[in-house]
Structure 1
Amino acid sequence: MYEFKTIDGPVPVLALIDERLSTTTVCLASKYGSRDDPPGECGLAHVLEHVLMSAPVGAVPSFSEHVERLGGHANAETGLDRMLFYAQVHADDAGEITGLLHHAVLRPRWDQETLSREKPAVLQELSAAAADPSDVVQDAFLAHVFPDHPLGRPVGGLREDVERFDVGSLAEGHARRLLTAPLSLIVVGPSVPASADPVTAGIDPRTLTRLGTATRDPHALPALPAPEGARWPDTFAWVCVGARSVGNHDPRRPHFNVLAQLLGSSPSSVLYRRLRGEAGLAYAFQSWNRGYGETGAWRVLAGVEPGNGEAAIDVIRTALEEIAAEGPGPDDLAAARRQAQMRILTSVDTPLECARFLAMRSGGPAGWSPAAEVDALAGVNAGDLREAARHVLRGLRAVVRPEAR
């Protein structure tokens, strides 16, 4: 049995303590994401992510390399509204690695060599994403439902902006953006290391006074553009069908999460039966809901053969319309609700996934816990799903990639 606890401080700690674990996972979660990149610097957060994990820190060549030499695993990721820096190591190494993580993220050592090595890696990552239509269609979908808004910009950045970054622009962006955004530390392991306190880890308290002082630039959500007819290619294509949903801490978020399971890729889902079983229109598809601060996005991503695209969209729309009108059947509701709960439970049971899950929920309402979220999902009823489906239908849009030329 685990214990979930929170510890206040300049860097609040969310800890899931399980004395049976032999590893400790630590994750610094910043509420600075790609949406906060200044105009003309799209990709700043992404490049910072690479550099901070790869630059020299303390007496070691880089945080990532040192963790891996200890037999652990280190990685980082940038999202629309946050950045995560994490490592999973033997519990005996947790104190050293937690302190080193604080220094890597909060007190980086800027050098041209690291940037010269990591910038090409970022550009190659962008090229790989641009060559994958299943990635491209998701960026295009967000750009369509959040036009002229930071949430509609590509998370990885724009090549022309990334190419301009130098050490000075990274250092300035780090000081103005990352060091002023709210930061929290997630710990999943047998205990909380003393170095979870950044002051104990050697971070200057003056640095910590700036954390959380920034406010996100207000950007009113734009009106949705008129739906566009898809220009289907004569090859296999990916279509993203969905709409805006609600923010990450909105009490209605569990409703959209269950709706995603109800129309997910499980053989027990309504959409699986219709789209794959009965119509045979799509073999590969998935659905999910993601909250982004003040709003969110609910979507279905499906790969379709030539000639099947419009029929697949019709099946998805019809399934939503039936749920909006009648709600799901009791058995389908129970299965979708249970699947949404199991996604949390399986995340909690896997230390690294647990840390990422907690990091995505950090900064939420007081009293939140994984158990509370499971309970909230248990309370989702047919009426909640009718309203969620109506919400999605009101803003439903479809984007396809590649498009016909």
Structure 2
Amino acid sequence: MADPVLTVSSEVRPDLRTTGICLTVALGSRTDPPELGGLTHLLEHLVMSAPLDGRSFSARTEWLGGSVNAHTGLEEQQFYARVRAEDADAVIALLLRAAFAPDLSDAAVTAESAVVLRELAASAADPNEVVQDAVLAALFHGHPLGRPVGGTPAGIRAANPDAVRAHHATRFLGAPAHLAVVGPHPPVLPRGGPAVTPLGSTAPHITPEPLPPLVAGPVRWPEDFAWVCLGARSPGAGDPRRPGHDVLAALLGSSPSSLLYRRLREELGLGYAFEAWDRGYTEAGAWRVLAGAGEGDGAQVVDVVRDLLADLAGRGPADEDLDAARRGLQMRLLVDSEDPLEAARSLGVRTRAGTAPWSAEEQQAAIRAVTAEDVAAAARAVCAGLITVVRPEGRPR
């Protein structure tokens, strides 16, 4: 069994009456064995729901009036809570115990496996979620970054209690972990918990793998409403080109100030629900635009996105559009930084579980420094590898 490696950061804000707590572990779906897809996702459920002296971490925290949640990504897990300040230390102790010494009994694993299977069934019935897994699978075909984040029904059924316990003992406990706390008082960690090491003293443990060729299959439009996702590879985490891709996504996002909003919704009336974003991982990132398309509108929606990208690749954005996109991203960072829970979560993700330096101020400065040429370069890179995926798919024609 590996010894947990924990780093801790706290931000003391005396004006707050609540505390945001987030434990980020550098373990995601990409580490699942291919035949056990969803193993890490199942472990997330067990940390939150397995009993601690009769009640789970989730139940005991919400019994105190707090709110809790968790998620599994491609390269990290997060377990987080927002509680009254006077309850923060007790909840931190519960969270660390639930994460590093959970009840992984046969009964607990069997019960939570059934819950995860129902969650996967619900996700499979939602084309909005299916299309996002599908575009990652196309961008990173056969690569760990292309695996479904939630896993597969077959993988969950194959994840017996022994496999779950082994995954926790080796992968989970061996991964860098970071506890971020934002509240009116510095946290008091429980005695006997995991050893705390200085920030930056650990390194990411993910081994990069060669990226495969892009796989762009045919687009088969259904007769009714569908979700279309256009995606391209982008720079990996820590790459200095990433802010340019963030601004490019903001220019094609859901804000009424964006180019895509003005073209797709105001001029053509083709879109109601759409968004754009970029995420960075170890080997590469994934830049995406997601849009709902009505009957017969899908191809035109794709043309609009491609035309806007081509225009940005050639001329870059106008000054006022660039300024609006940068301001929007900076405002989002400000809003997150003022919310204790979102601030704690951002610290966990942006520092890659405490293994990389990051601050909201530095991120804002990087966004402010993005030029029109930076955006044009990002658009050219996206145009060169842009693929389109649609769900539900229509029949071959």
CA contact (8 A) 2:208 2:282 kept: no
Q: CA–CA distance in 1 between the matches of 2:48 and 2:75? A: 19
Q: Counterpart of 2:360 in structure 1: which amino acid? A: P
- 1:102-129 Cα offsets, whole Å, 9 max, x none, are 1111111222332232111111110111
Q: CA–CA distance in 1 between the matches of 2:253 and 2:80? A: 29
Secondary structure of the residue aligned to 2:35 is: coil
Match of 1:382 in 2: 372
Match of 1:222 in 2: 212
Match of 1:162 in 2: 156
Match of 1:70 in 2: 64
Match of 1:357 in 2: 346
Q: Counterpart of 2:45 in structure 1: which amino acid? A: H
Secondary structure of the residue aligned to 1:283 is: coil
> Is the alpha carbon distance of 1:251 and 1:214 closer, same or farther for their aligned partners in structure 2, counting shifts above 3 Å?
closer
Structure-2-length-normalised TM-score = 0.94
Pick one of 381, 391, 394 that aligns with 1:391.
381
Match of 1:401 in 2: 391
Secondary structure of the residue aligned to 1:398 is: strand
Map 1:145-294 → 2, pairs under 5 A = 145-195=139-189, 200-203=190-193, 205=195, 215-225=205-215, 227-294=216-283
Match of 1:55 in 2: 50
> Is the alpha carbon distance of 1:290 and 1:206 closer, same or farther for their aligned partners in structure 2, counting shifts above 3 Å?
closer
- Of residues 112-121 and 363-372 in structure 1, the stretch that sits farther from structure 2 once superposed is 363-372
Match of 1:87 in 2: 81
Quote the offset at 1:252 in angstroms. 1.5
Match of 2:334 in 1: 345
Q: CA–CA distance in 2 between the matches of 1:74 and 1:64? A: 6
Displaced runs of 4+ in structure 1, greater than 4 A?
204-208, 211-214, 364-367
> Is the alpha carbon distance of 1:80 and 1:204 closer, same or farther for their aligned partners in structure 2, counting shifts above 3 Å?
closer
Structure 1 residue ranges without an equivalent (≥5): 1-8
CA contact (8 A) 2:20 2:183 kept: yes
Match of 1:110 in 2: 104
Quote the offset at 1:367 in angstroms. 5.0
Match of 1:373 in 2: 363
CA contact (8 A) 2:5 2:173 kept: no
Q: Counterpart of 1:23 in structure 2: which amino acid? A: T
Q: CA–CA distance in 1 between the matches of 2:391 and 2:384? A: 23
CA contact (8 A) 2:202 2:355 kept: no
> Is the alpha carbon distance of 1:204 and 1:353 closer, same or farther for their aligned partners in structure 2, counting shifts above 3 Å?
closer
Q: Counterpart of 2:338 in structure 1: which amino acid? A: D
Q: CA–CA distance in 2 between the matches of 1:289 and 1:154? A: 17
Q: Counterpart of 1:404 in structure 2: which amino acid? A: G
Q: Which has the higher contact order (CA 8 A, sep 6+)?
A: 2
Q: Counterpart of 1:69 in structure 2: which amino acid? A: W
> Is the alpha carbon distance of 1:214 and 1:292 closer, same or farther for their aligned partners in structure 2, counting shifts above 3 Å?
closer
Quote the offset at 1:10 in angstroms. 4.2
- The answer as to 2:108 corresponding to 1:119 is no
Q: CA–CA distance in 2 between the matches of 1:355 and 1:184? A: 10
Q: CA–CA distance in 1 between the matches of 2:349 and 2:298? A: 33
Q: CA–CA distance in 2 between the matches of 1:334 and 1:14? A: 33
Quote the offset at 1:229 in angstroms. 2.8
Secondary structure of the residue aligned to 1:16 is: strand
> Is the alpha carbon distance of 1:203 and 1:310 closer, same or farther for their aligned partners in structure 2, counting shifts above 3 Å?
same
Alpha-carbon RMSD: 2.1
Secondary structure of the residue aligned to 1:88 is: strand
Structure 2 residue ranges without an equivalent (≥5): none
> Is the alpha carbon distance of 1:83 and 1:347 closer, same or farther for their aligned partners in structure 2, counting shifts above 3 Å?
same
Q: CA–CA distance in 2 between the matches of 1:204 and 1:121? A: 29
Q: CA–CA distance in 2 between the matches of 1:297 and 1:160? A: 26
- Of residues 305-314 and 141-150 in structure 1, the stretch that sits farther from structure 2 once superposed is 305-314
Match of 1:5 in 2: none
Pick one of 129, 140, 143 that aligns with 2:134.
140
Secondary structure of the residue aligned to 1:40 is: helix
Secondary structure of the residue aligned to 2:36 is: coil
Map 1:298-337 → 2, pairs under 5 A = 298-337=287-326
Q: CA–CA distance in 1 between the matches of 2:333 and 2:246? A: 11
Q: What percent identity do the matched residue pairs reach?
A: 49
CA contact (8 A) 1:76 1:86 kept: yes
- 1:202-243 Cα offsets, whole Å, 9 max, x none, are 2265999xx968832442111112x33311010111100120
CA contact (8 A) 1:262 1:332 kept: yes
Q: Counterpart of 1:276 in structure 2: which amino acid? A: R
Structure-1-length-normalised TM-score = 0.92
Secondary structure of the residue aligned to 1:11 is: strand
Q: Counterpart of 1:248 in structure 2: which amino acid? A: A
CA contact (8 A) 2:20 2:344 kept: yes
Q: Counterpart of 2:250 in structure 1: which amino acid? A: Q
- Of residues 214-223 and 103-112 in structure 1, the stretch that sits farther from structure 2 once superposed is 214-223
Q: Counterpart of 2:299 in structure 1: which amino acid? A: E
Secondary structure of the residue aligned to 2:79 is: strand
CA contact (8 A) 1:179 1:207 kept: no
Alignment: residue pair count: 389
> Is the alpha carbon distance of 1:214 and 1:269 closer, same or farther for their aligned partners in structure 2, counting shifts above 3 Å?
closer
